[in-house]
Structure 1
């Protein structure tokens, strides 16, 4: 697949095989497919453009004219959920939701076809199950109006129901296109029988208590992922199954948690930075930066890999989202690194591990959240976060050194001083972009969400007036690609947020805190348990939800056993970052695969040395408090 129709080169996605469209058996299906494409892609492209204009107008109005637009963030938030859901619809239609295919591809062809059909039906079951709760949630939210514009909140959350209906239509079209009639009937009968059996034994699940956590959040997720169900839908169906079969909780809570996960305004920086990355490439800024950096380090083995680590260190925290950070860096460096012979999987391993490495770099939302829920000084957390990330970067640099020590540089010549100087002046407007973004945030001109729009405006001006490269015909495809990639990422976050709520309500968080406070070994024992626990929590819950849940419980225990709160915070954040980017459950790993357009199966085998290096760095950070507290 090429360009917009792929996620990471060979990413197998929710339907890429078998959901990727082939020539339909009936002309009507082709017509319906085109209608769905138009109904999702055109509004999504318009929404991306509107979000950019609204937030940029807010910055200009506030900073230039000293007349803030009070409703800009509110309108951006209302449109954002529609953008996220339409993007998820586009990703499903194009086959761009991330999924694993390692086990499925190893099965005999006949069995593989059945497993792939079952994966499609799991997607159908999840989408079908949320349509009615989405409608009920729409009715509940209709009574709430936004404070400035007085728009019914139901108009915003209707995006979830509309998106679910469109997804259901896409799944039905793909099933009719791909599956033989007899095979589809048999699969539907088997699925209906399985659902019936599970419903009949529902009283048994009520008696199992917390064993259900293992059954649904480990067993069901693992089986779905192994069968090639898209990651987001695997999380979603596990959560729905847990709530429906083992609790009395209404399923509308799943929709509300998905809304919460996808609607956080800070996540709006994800599509905006994705678009900024595409814009940097189209206008020539990426080429100018890469040419200059290559002239400096291109003759060094692994030179551009070191540049990637440095770039992630510098830009991290600007957007408040690891996915957005990676989206800002990857388009400028990965294409040139691939041209120089770097393997796709190894590049994604480096990109994802650099995202884990940079979790403690301020201004990190996770650090701000820790300060707000635990009372730890945010200024102290910011001061303590730089050195732990540097230790992680050095650990990754060691791995890069060994992986690239035999790199063939026979075709690479060292640039002369005059060439470097010339390329520097050419690249200067492009190199200024990160400093423009950082300055805009530091001076309070724009928020972390708005800053990407300033970068977009700067890039447009530089592309038009300085580099004189601006292909207007590419704008619409770039807007659609931005929506698709962002929707795939945000839908994972939404479903993961719902799953996190299910874990919390089970009492798992309270039980964990009680168990950790009773571990033997005092300070050292508590720290060891914390490291492993937060690696797991980071994989399942991500940073902010995990901190909100467990920070108030565990930080007092850490203080009681004599651990400095800033030191403990750095260990916790670094560990969660490691879990967030560790397959098979780490959402950050799949986000990196989507951004870098590489098959998760291909990248997974390369990521372990980098994660091992980060784990060594984590041990050092945990064992040496000065790394976190030396600059306080």
Structure 2
């Protein structure tokens, strides 16, 4: 009965197109009816208790900070500096696009925001430099998910809450994977430019770099303040998110003067819509996770998988396949809240480091965001840039293969994830 309620029923409802929070609430109600005599008061406690978490405050604050930075000139100036610095080599423009996405990820953590903010600035320049429309849109669709991996990452915060891990340590574990992804993508676009004989861009001029650096100094300080403050022990990730909001408002309104206070208020209202969508899922998932735990289903699932006597590498491969499929139909926050109660006991039983496993989960769900045919970034790029989905599906295939190779590397070489934490400690 547990497999039917916690597995078949949610999948069936998702297939019918039900919203994820409705799916979770219906599964919770079904579990209350068929699994055991559970008082309604306990469900209320689980729902509100899931929202009464201090670190959860980081999510709306980082979303707001990212939106203000994208519209207030901070992201644009950072991109202009990167574009001014990278030149004189083949593939410099798409390399700058990858670097811009990584830099934006260090300030925001929202993948769709990255696709919109970075794409609108770089795609015209890519096409002017000789790259096709489909390559340009596919590039930003794939590089946008770096924001899920590079800290501060909203999915990482949610995983830290769901798996009861340190968000700061999870951020630290995500630095090397994010840089590996960026380096692999940069290598591919260089080879692509050579293969298609794309003309080499103009060499950077110190005068251009100086002008761009002067304008971007406040933008460069944004990720330095956020990440430096966290790892320097000045403030927690939640406090860092609040600092990022204040910093973004001060710089955008009073220094760059590209936003008014009225526009900040409008951006805040728009961010609240996205925050509300996430929080209602978190609340519903709180009841769902509590019911799964109290029903004993995870323990039975662990016992069932243990009876198969799978080797660790086979278990990890199976988990990767499951997460890729889930990540292609659910946004990372929702996918983590649904899957974490089921998978973390299995990972613990297999002796996996919980932070390493958190990175595996995060990278899988990041890849799922642009995995055909249902990846969220695919639909976002289609809506923003008007690229037909069939062409976009074909365009992201090389990037998808690269991400899969990196995913396998991160899965089976834990040192890439855990080494920075050993140095930090």
TM-score (norm 1): 0.51
1:570 to 353, 356, 372: 356
Task: Provide the rounded CA distance (Å) in 1 between the counterparts of 2:371 and 2:291.
Answer: 16
How far does residue 336 in structure 1 lie from its aligned partner after superposition? 0.4
Q: Is the 8 A contact 1:361 1:386 kept in 2?
A: no
Q: How many angstroms apart in 2 are the aligned matches of 1:404 and 1:442?
A: 37
Correspondence 1:334 to 2:129? no
CA 1:424–1:494: 2 relative to 1, 3 Å: same
Q: Give the deviation of 1:294 after TM superposition.
A: 1.7
In structure 1, the residue matched to 2:208 is 419
Q: Does 2:368 match 1:582?
A: yes
Q: Which residue of 2 aligns with 1:431?
A: 220
Q: Aligned pairs, how many?
A: 402
**Given that residues 262 and 494 in structure 1 are in contact (C-alpha distance below 8 angstroms), is that contact kept between their aligned partners in structure 2?**
yes
Quote how far apart the aligned CAs of 1:352 are.
5.1
Give the whole-Å Cα distance in 2 for the aligned partners of 1:240 and 1:578.
26
Cα distance in 1, alignment partners of residues 313 and 120 from structure 2: 44
The answer to whether structure 1 residue 235 and structure 2 residue 23 are counterparts is yes
> How far 1:444 moved relative to its partner?
3.8
For structure 2, the residue ranges without an aligned partner over 5 or more in a row are 128-132
Residue in 2 that maps onto 1:461: 250
C-alpha contact (below 8 Å) 1:288/1:430 kept by paired residues: yes
Q: 1:310 to 1:282 in 2, by over 3 A?
A: closer
Would you say the 8 A contact 1:531–1:571 is kept in 2?
no
Structure with max Cα Rg: 1
> Quick one: distance in 2 between partners of 1:389 and 1:313?
9
Between 1 and 2, higher relative CO (CA 8 Å, sep ≥ 6) is seen in 2
Q: Shift of the alpha carbon at 1:554?
A: 3.7
CA–CA distance in structure 2, aligned partners of residues 592 and 487 of structure 1: 23
Give, in whole Å, the separation in 2 of the partners of 1:346 and 1:585: 12
1:510 corresponds to: 299
Please list the CA deviations of residues 485-520 of structure 1 after superposition, one character each: whole Å capped at 9, or x if unmatched. Answer: 322333344444444455555544223311332334
Unaligned runs of 5+ in 1: 1-207, 559-564
Judge conservation of contact 1:284–1:463 (CA < 8 Å) in 2: yes
Q: Structure 1 625/240 Cα, relative in aligned 2: closer, same or farther at 3 Å?
A: closer
Which one is further off, 270-279 or 621-630?
621-630
Q: 1:622 to 1:456 in 2, by over 3 A?
A: closer
- Could you tell which deviates more after superposition, 487-496 or 284-293? 487-496
CA distance 1:370–1:328, change in 2 (3 Å): same
TM-score of the superposition, structure 2-length normalised? 0.71
Q: Shift of the alpha carbon at 1:423? A: 1.3
User: Residue 617 of structure 1 corresponds to which residue in structure 2?
Assistant: 406
For 1:131-530, list aligned pairs within 5 A: 210-224=3-17, 229=18, 231-232=19-20, 235-236=23-24, 238-239=26-27, 242-243=30-31, 246-247=34-35, 249=38, 257-297=46-86, 300-311=92-103, 314-315=106-107, 322-323=109-110, 326=111, 332-340=117-125, 341=127, 346=138, 349-351=141-143, 353-358=145-150, 365=157, 386-398=175-187, 400=189, 413-501=202-290, 503-504=292-293, 507-520=296-309, 522-530=311-319
Structure 1 residues 469 and 535, CA gap change in structure 2 (3 angstroms):
closer
SS at match of 2:83: helix
The whole-number CA distance in structure 1 between the counterparts of 2:44 and 2:375 is 24
Post-superposition Cα deviations, 1:427-453, rounded to whole Å, max 9, x if no partner, equal: 112211211222333344433222233
Q: Tell me, what secondary structure is at the counterpart of 2:237?
A: coil
- Displacement of 1:478 after TM fit? 1.8
1:7-41: per-residue Cα shift (whole Å, max 9, x none)?
xxxxxxxxxxxxxxxxxxxxxxxxxxxxxxxxxxx
Greater Cα offset, 396-405 or 258-267: 396-405
